[in-house]
Structure 1
Amino acid sequence: MTNVYIVGAGPGDYDLITVKGLKAIQKADVILYDRLINQELLDEAKEGAELVFCGKRPDHHALSQTTINHLLCKYARKGKVVTRLKGGDPFVFGRGGEEAEELAKRNIPYEIVPGITSGIAAPAYAGIPVTHRDYSSSVAFISGVNKQGGDEEAYWERVSKSMDTLCIYMGVKKLPLICERLLKYGRPLHTPVALVQWGTTKEQKTVTGTIEDIVEKSKRIENPAMIVVGDVVRLRERLQWFESSLEEDLKEIATGVV
């Protein structure tokens, strides 16, 4: 019998959670949830379920990862069905692997329920396919913050040259440094760049530019935001659909047409 479900809640749009993920929410006795999930998903919890906030903001964690690991094990050992609800996909920059390791070490049965990661979904909702036959045959999902003690120069030299498209998580605060490194290791000044803030939600905002000017253009963009680097960004001019539909909805509301 599974005690713990490590679930990807998707990138923000309520409808983008998987059927299996939704079932894990509905059956849980305890839900440990993160900041970036769609809060409406918690309405699916059964009556009496305990909800535990584990959210992380830049430079501030409500609970440490060690504490979260401890709680997963504690509730599971009490015979509770526990759902660990994480934004995006738990195994893509979500520390789901660390939590699974802790459960495995203590012989606690668990399942991983994948979710749609923002590295794919946010660009898609901005009209940017991360691969395209004419523009990109390869894509890398990378962190804007390499591991502590790692060689930043070697890291950016490796990733800058490796793929046609780069989808960069957790990089907004380091955008000037990222652009500097991309230029240093071979990306041209005119390389297209997009930042997608709050992707797939009604608050989505997208800014596009090039390595040369994106820092100036994106000064009002804040976390959470996905950075996309590569020629696929050019396709947004023709393929943007979601923000256009939001604008149409706002126009209809303003004119009383619903």
Structure 2
Amino acid sequence: MAQRQPGRRASSLVVLDGKSRESAGVVWLVGAGPGDPDLLTIKALKVLQKADVLVHDGLVSDEILALAPAAVQRISVAKRKSRHSYSQDEINRMLIAFALEGLTVVRLKGGDPFIFGRGGEELEACRAAGVACHIVPGVTAALAASANAGAPLTHRGSAQALTFVTGHASHGAEPDLDWASLARPNQTVVIYMGLSQAAPIAARLMAAGRVGSTPALIVENASRADERRVVTTLSGLAEAASSLSGPALLIVGEAMALAQAHEPTLLQAILREAQA
């Protein structure tokens, strides 16, 4: 396929792989889920299979990327901590430019586009440029992590509230959160991108009044064949996190007392055997 540079608006006709395109393009912000291709929604699969251009995160699994058409133009915009292949502004401009060429652009994101996925920024950019933008929700990592561990995020008597927060702030700084609110008992707090900040997060919660014996769970690579789970407590969160390095969630709350230490599920065993 001939390489095209985004940014040139076609007046009326775009040709891609011999197919003329006269209609306006569109951007789809699609949630790929936490990694297990079986957790991809049917709608996400349908949209993915009609993509002309696929702009994807680094956390999207290879199994899901393989579901896209062979002829699709693939662009990785992987972001890992401070290492960004593209800035967010560059990604926004890329999506808009391809859509203005009359193409169907799928922006494939790990988890759900609107849960710490910066999908809102991309939606706003498309709206400002007059580009049609549609959203396909995905299974966010917290749901897969709690399900595999057998620990409900909400539970009668021990978790009447559920809060998602980010443990990642700009330039490696500590997140600016309402620690007093998060320290209240009988609620579950899920911290995304908090592995490197586990020690200060735990210290802040305990200083605000959350007891150190509160059950906690860390899940690395939720739903994937190499998923790892560590059952611990709030006071032991920092030490437990030090043994992990991959994308991980920290989950703190009384309901995490139901979490099971890692044992490969039947599905995970099958996946590992297939990948061997």
The aligned residue for residue 184 of structure 2 is 161
The one of 264, 268, 274 aligned to 1:243: 264
Amino-acid identity (%): 37
The aligned residue for residue 29 of structure 1 is 52
Rounded to whole Å, the distance in 1 between the matches of 2:200 and 2:251 is 15
Return 78-87 or 152-161, whichever deviates more.
152-161
**Does structure 1 retain, via aligned residues, the 8 Å contact 2:25–2:101?**
no
* Structure 1 counterpart SS, 2:66: helix
TM-score by length of 2: 0.83
* Structure 2 counterpart SS, 1:6: strand
**Does structure 2 retain, via aligned residues, the 8 Å contact 1:131–1:137?**
yes
The aligned residue for residue 176 of structure 1 is 199
The aligned residue for residue 54 of structure 1 is 77
The CA deviation at 1:146 is: 4.5
The aligned residue for residue 3 of structure 1 is 26
Task: Specify every segment of 5 or more residues in structure 2 that has no aligned partner in the other structure, as ranges.
Answer: 1-23
Residue 189 in structure 1 maps to residue 217 in structure 2: no
Rounded to whole Å, the distance in 2 between the matches of 1:4 and 1:250 is 32
| Structure holding more helix per residue | 1
Rounded to whole Å, the distance in 2 between the matches of 1:217 and 1:101 is 39
Runs of 4+ in 1 over 6 A off after TM superposition: none
Q: CA RMSD in A?
A: 2.5
Q: Quickly say closer, same or farther: Cα 1:168–1:154, change in 2 above 3 A.
A: closer
Letter matched to residue 245 of structure 1: L
Q: Quickly say closer, same or farther: Cα 1:9–1:242, change in 2 above 3 A.
A: farther
Residue 222 in structure 1 maps to residue 237 in structure 2: no
* Structure 1 counterpart SS, 2:151: coil
Task: Specify every segment of 5 or more residues in structure 1 that has no aligned partner in the other structure, as ranges.
Answer: 254-258
* Structure 2 counterpart SS, 1:21: helix
Residue 91 in structure 1 maps to residue 127 in structure 2: no
TM-score by length of 1: 0.89
**Does structure 2 retain, via aligned residues, the 8 Å contact 1:168–1:227?**
yes
* Structure 1 counterpart SS, 2:43: helix
The CA deviation at 1:162 is: 8.0
Letter matched to residue 191 of structure 2: I
Rounded to whole Å, the distance in 2 between the matches of 1:4 and 1:45 is 16
**Does structure 1 retain, via aligned residues, the 8 Å contact 2:225–2:269?**
no
Q: Quickly say closer, same or farther: Cα 1:162–1:60, change in 2 above 3 A.
A: farther
The CA deviation at 1:217 is: 2.9
Rounded to whole Å, the distance in 2 between the matches of 1:223 and 1:151 is 19
The one of 117, 123, 126 aligned to 1:100: 123
Rounded to whole Å, the distance in 2 between the matches of 1:250 and 1:89 is 23
The CA deviation at 1:166 is: 0.3
